[in-house]
Amino acid sequence: LKPAPGSLVIDACSAPGGKTTHLAQLMENSGRIVACDIHGHKLDLVRENMGRLGITIIEPVLLDATRLHEEYSGQADYILVDAPCSGLGVLRRRPEIRWRKKPEQIMELRDLQLAIMASAIRCLKPGGAMVYSTCTITEEENTGVIKEILRRQPELKLDSLAGCLPANLSCLSGMDIMKDGYVQFMPHRHGTDGFFISRFRKVDS
């Protein structure tokens, strides 16, 4: 996401706070990060991480991410949506997931992801940047979501990931699509968990 110091960032699904505190460090603890989660007890984990790292710019907020626009419409310079997902990218570490997930759950999650994105977009200033990410490998939750969002929201454009991720990733299989604004990591190709990252820029409508 590469947020600038002094900016306003919304982390739509923040708990337990590892990514939130990393954003604060990138911002040199200057600016404001609104850290949202729908579960109050998970926000306690965000507060613990803040205290441990001495970070003061994070505001934990109990809020359903599908209703972000009701509180923060047009305010954010940057938004992170690390969305609730099926988690199928971590099967190597959590093989029991395969017995718990059903096809209909994938589509329910896709609908939730689209609702969160639709609300988040309304919070983003023109020129602002947003990252949508998951820890899954399903097309429905990844490229399917971004294609549908781009269809619904003409003011949103994919923004190149080149320069946002470590330079040595460009030599890995499939990383050439970073220039298109998204990338899918696969366990059998990259030796990592399976996860998806996409970056958007909001243009003047």
Helix spans in the chain (H): 18-26, 40-53, 69-72, 103-123, 143-152, 187-190
The count of domains in the chain is 1
Q: Has residue 13 been placed in a domain?
A: no
Q: How many residues does the chain have?
A: 205
Q: Would 71 be classed as within a structural domain? A: yes
The CATH number of residue 186's host domain is 3.40.50.150
Check if the beta carbon of residue 50 is closer than 8 Å to that of residue 100. no
**48 in any annotated domain:** no
For tokens 């329910």, the residue is 108
pLDDT beneath 70: ranges in the chain: 166-179, 205
- Structural domain includes residue 77: yes
Burial classification of residue 115, based on how many CB atoms lie within 10 Å of its CB (0-12 exposed, 13-18 middle, 19 or more buried): middle
In the block, tokens 């954010």 appear at 76
Question: In the annotation, is 85 catalytic?
Answer: no
Q: Is position 28 within any domain?
A: no
The verdict on residue 116 lying in a domain is yes
Among the options 36, 123, 135, 171, which is catalytic? 135
User: Does residue 100 lie within any of the structural domains?
Assistant: yes
Burial class (CB in 10 A: 0-12, 13-18, 19+), 151: exposed
Query: Tokens 């017995």 belong to which residue?
Result: 99
Residue 113's φ and ψ, nearest 5 degrees, are: -60, -45
pLDDT of residue 170: 58
162, 179 Cβ separation under 8 angstroms: yes
- Domain with 187, as residue range(s), is 64-202
Could you tell me which residues are beta bridge partners of residue 195? 185
Average pLDDT of the chain is 91
Q: What is the pLDDT of residue 187?
A: 84
pLDDT in tens, 60-69: 999 999 999 9
Residue 82: inside a domain: yes
| Relative orientation angle of helices 18-26 and 40-53, to the nearest 10 degrees | 40
DSSP string, 84-140: ----GGGTTT-GGGGGT--HHHHHHHHHHHHHHHHHHHHHEEEEEEEEEEES---TT
pTM: 0.91
CB neighbours of residue 163 within 10 Å: 8
